[in-house]
Structures are given as C-alpha cells and as structure tokens.
Structure 1
C-alpha cells in the first residue's frame, strides 16, 4: 500500500511539473516571418541597432548653410506655413531633392535622386537588398526631451515603409512603391520630425501636434503644383504616363473642395463628420481624416462630376505634402487610386492644411470608353 501511495505521489509531482513548466518557463518567442508581396523580412521585437551615419544623414541637425556650402543653392525655396521652409534641388526629376529647414537647421531630407549620398541605399533597390545589408526592426524605443517613446511597425510598414536608425540618433524612412516594390525615396529625419509625422503605431508617448501660421485665404498654387510634380515623379518611376494639368481640372478640384466643406451632411455620416471635426481640432498626423472611396464618389455626385470618369483623394491635416504623397504610393489602400494606366488630367486644391486631389479621364479616353460601351 505504501508503494502504491508513493508511486501516486511521484506521478502527481511529475504531472504538475509537466503542466506548470510552460507557465513558469515559457518558450522563447520565435521570429515571425513577414511575407508581403515580393518582400520577406524578419519581424523581431529585439532592441534596434544603429548603423553608421553617412551621406545625407550627416546633415540632419546641421545648419542649412552647411548644406548649401557643399551642394550649392537650391533652385527654389518655399514657405510651408507650418513653421518650416523647403529648399528644392534638381531641375530634372532624376535629381529631385527636398530639404526641410526649421529654425535654420535641417530637420528632414527627402531624397528621390540616386546619389552616392544615399548609400548604403540606392533608388530602385528592393527590400530584400536592404535586408541583406541590415536587420529590419519592428520596434523603436527611445527618449526625446526626457519623454519615453515606443514605436511599432506593422507588417505593411516593414515591407513598404521600414525605419532605419543611425548612430547620430537620426533616422531614415525608406519608401517602397506598392506597385513595383522598388525604393523610390529615402527620407532622413530627426526625432522631432518623426514624432510629428508619425506614420507608425505609437505604443508609448504622445505625437507632437503642429499648428499653421497665418496664411492667406484661398488656394495655395505653389503647394498644388509641388504635389502634382511629386505625383508625376512617382508615376514615372512606376512606368506610368504622367498626369496632364489644365485649367479645367484645377477648377474642378477647387470646386469639389468647396462642395465638400459646404455639403458635408450629404457626403458624410454624422460619425464621420465628427471624426473630421476632431482632426481639425487635434492638428496631429495621428488624427488625419481621409475620405473613403465611397465618400469621394458621393462628393463627385454632389459636385456634378461624372464619378465613372474621375477619382481622387482628400486628406487633412497635412504637415508635409511630399511625405503624404509618398505615404499614399506605399500604401495598399491608396496606391490603386494612382495606378491607372490610362491618360488622365489632374487637379490639386490645397488650402492651409487640407488637400484635395482629382484625377479625370482625358476627353480622348472618355470618347473611347463611350464608344466601347
């Protein structure tokens, strides 16, 4: 009897140890493989590593005069109305470069040009090429002005908008086109700008809000033209025809902009209208309001434009127009609106922190469509 009781006692102990072992000694999480289209990267929550600072990354935080001393004067200089200025380089699209200057110091550089200054990255490379050079991390925890922040990249972020850290405490955000999976631009930026733009999920800390300076009423033609150039530049990189610009398409975009503001009850649900108002009050990139495709089609109908022959985007608040367009082209949800192979006209209405983009089929394309019907 004693042997039976002893056996049962030992058996129960072994059984408990077997069941409780995973609780007290959990298995180490394995790395999850992220498969996204043509990309395959490792999703890991390990502390991120910094790569040596080189090229354009060395100029983040330096004075703008240091950059102009090395690369010459820009071809254009624009005021943003957001507390920063933009220096534009490159008459040719292949040489295009934007320098963001705040308080006389460079806070961001958006490089579309295939220059040695972007090394170890190069325009046209794929994510698999980057993965061979360095690890793509999903989590970035750091401190800015004594505040702790923790950023997490989702699967699509890692595949089309990965973040790279440099040892001078700056970052590079790589934009891959969603249609070609090729690198189209490298954006270098400091912590403040990253926390202002915040294209990722913020697990800890608060995004930095922004405010608009005193601006004249009406539409900003300079920003509108700049957005059109960036969109066409990205279309060229994708092997698509550029959009045509004419007076009618611009007027139609401005008309839709005004229609939306005057007739939102006919276009938005009460809940969506509240979301729009919230975005206006917050003035933060984490509260960006974007029209859904269905809402945009309603806008076209109210604006009396043929919705079968037009599409577009509306978003606010916009802190940096170029960064916003790059985000659209790297996003599976929005890229399709800009991927039509047909020739189309484009119009952009930009006012303060709000932007509406309208794409319409050209008259030739419309007539061919009607004949086929």
Structure 2
C-alpha cells in the first residue's frame, strides 16, 4: 500500500510539474506579434508606382519650409545647396499625410503598395534599392510623384509608426541604410 501511495504521489507530482512548465507557453498574457507578409499584400492590390505628393514630401527640393511653427514640429531638417533634402517628423501635430503616427504596417498597407525593389535615377545613373524582410516590416520606403521618398519607421515593440523621414533621392542613396545596386552607368 505504501508503494502505491508513493508511486501515485510521484505521478501526480510529475503531472503538475508538466502543467506548470507548459502553462506560460499556452496561456501567455503577452499579445502575439503580428507579422505581415507584404509580398502577399502587394500582389492582392493594383500596382501604383508613386503616392500623391503630400505631407513633408511637398517640401523636399523646395527652398524653405512653409512657416516657423512647421519647422518646430520637425525633428531634423537638412538643407543642401539651398534646398531641403531631408525632413524627419515624429510629432503628432506634424503633417504626415497620408500617414498617422500610431498606425500599424497593416493599416498603412491597406492603402499603400510597398515594394521590395525600387528603381532610382541619380546623376544619370540607374540604381536598384532592395529591401530585406526586416526592412519591409520596420522601415519600408515609399516613393512620391515629385521624386521624394519617405522612410516609415515602425516600433519593434508594438509595430506602430513612430516617425517618417521624407528625403530626396540623393539623401536616400547617401544614407546607405538599404542595399543599393548600381544597375547602369
């Protein structure tokens, strides 16, 4: 009788240890990370090469910002040869149209086609910008009709848009943030 009791105790003890071990795996309080396959998303939509020029993209290539209050909303403004070449915005009041801080990649992806390969022409040379899966999930690039680009920065913790960097093709190439291949000279 004692041996049966000891064996029963060991079996129940092992059973509860297994349950206690697997409980955090199956019943986690943390939200599951939303992974979005942008390649599937872009195939479902009709392709459009460029976005309408709005937000900070309007000022790339211009000689000045519209007013001083707008300049205060910018985290960084870079001017080259008397023209604005980069504007970084991360304030709620900043003109980020068509984007909004706090949006997820999925929400923006419903309206915009993201591409993994973007062709660039700079000083007579053709370049091909290639984005990795990680770059597509956390810092995709979009092109505007006026030739400006935007890098959308998403938080790795919550997947929400934290800032937008509007920049010229020269700044994008010089930034060396993405793999850029010279196609033709």
CA distance in 2, matches of 1:122, 1:50: 18
1:131 aligns with 2:142: no
TM-score by length of structure 1 reads 0.37
- 1:315-373 Cα offsets, whole Å, 9 max, x none, are xxxxxxxxxxxxxxxxxxxxxxxxxxxxxxxxxxxxxxxxxxxxxxxxxxxxxxxxxxx
Alignment size in residue pairs: 149
- Measured on the aligned residues, the alpha-carbon RMSD in Å equals 2.5
Change over 3 Å in CA distance of 1:185–1:200 after alignment to 2: same
Q: 2:175 pairs with 194, 197, 200, which one?
A: 197
In structure 2, distance between residues paired with 1:154 and 1:98:
26
The answer to whether residue 68 in structure 2 is matched with residue 72 in structure 1 is: yes
Q: Whole-Å Cα distance in 2 between the matches of residues 41 and 169 of structure 1?
A: 26
Matches within 5 A, 1:307-318: none
- 1 or 2, which has the higher helix percentage? 1
Equivalent-residue separation in structure 2 for 1:163 and 1:194 (angstroms): 10
Deviation at 1:115, TM superposition (A): 3.2
Partner of 1:58: 58
CA distance in 1, matches of 2:143, 2:75: 21
Unaligned runs of 5+ in 2: 1-32
1:115 aligns with 2:115: no
Cα pair distance change 1:97/1:71, threshold 3 Å: farther
Where do 1:122-201 residues align within 5 Å?
122-201=100-179
Cα 1:48–1:196 shift into 2, 3 Å: farther
Equivalent residue runs for 1:255-270 within 5 Å:
none
CA distance in 1, matches of 2:128, 2:145: 18
Provide the C-alpha distance between the structure 2 equivalents of 1:177 and 1:52, rounded to a whole number of angstroms.
Answer: 25
TM-score (norm 2): 0.72
Structure 1 residue 48, shift from structure 2 partner: 6.3
Q: What SS class does the counterpart of residue 117 from structure 1 fall into?
A: coil
Provide, for residues 263-286 of structure 1, a one-character-per-residue CA deviation record: whole Å limited to 9, x for no partner: xxxxxxxxxxxxxxxxxxxxxxxx
Match of 2:39 among 25, 36, 43: 43
Determine the structure 2 residue equivalent to 1:345: none
Separation in structure 1 between the aligned mates of residue 121 and residue 153 of structure 2, nearest angstrom: 25
In structure 1, distance between residues paired with 2:79 and 2:69: 14
Who is 1:92 aligned against?
A: none
Structure 1: gaps (5+ residues):
1-36, 75-87, 90-94, 207-373
